[in-house]
Amino acid sequence: MKKTLVLGASPNPERYSFKAVVKLSNHGHEVIPVGLKSGLIEDKEIYTNMPIVDGIHTITLYIGPQNQPTYYDYIVNKIHPKRIVFNPGTKNPELEQLAKQKGIETEVACTLVLLSLNEY
């Protein structure tokens, strides 16, 4: 299973980031929720301090392009995942280019759909 960091995780059950954390967990993936607001998604604590986590395969983004520059160094240098999933509304050519320069695969897709199709 792919260890996944959900960037933009929200404690609001109506948000797609919340649903993604739940669905990733239900599919057996280890999930690290990182967001602006602390709280819980089921039994998982949302980290608000950009934790350094080893072994992340995928970062799935739930923050808009206008808010991503703050996280560029964190994403490509500190976490350095194998893959970044740009969910709807998060596509960012600048971050895609930075990722490619570091050998990180990028994918524009919906994490929830990928999981539903068993293509995550």
Output the pTM of the full model. Answer: 0.97
Interval 87-101 mean pLDDT: 98
Residue 51, CA distances (Å) to 8, 12, 32, 88 in order: 13, 21, 9, 24
Asked if the model's pLDDT at residue 49 lies above 90, the reply is yes
The pLDDT value given to residue 76: 98
Predicted confidence at residue 1, as pLDDT, reads 83
Over range 40-47, report the average pLDDT. 97
| Containing structural domain, residue 54 | 4-116
CATH code, domain with 17? 3.40.50.720
Residues 57/83, Cβ–Cβ less than 8 Å: yes
Task: Give the count of domains, the chain.
Answer: 1
Question: Per residue in 53-71, pLDDT tens?
Answer: 999 999 999 999 999 999 9
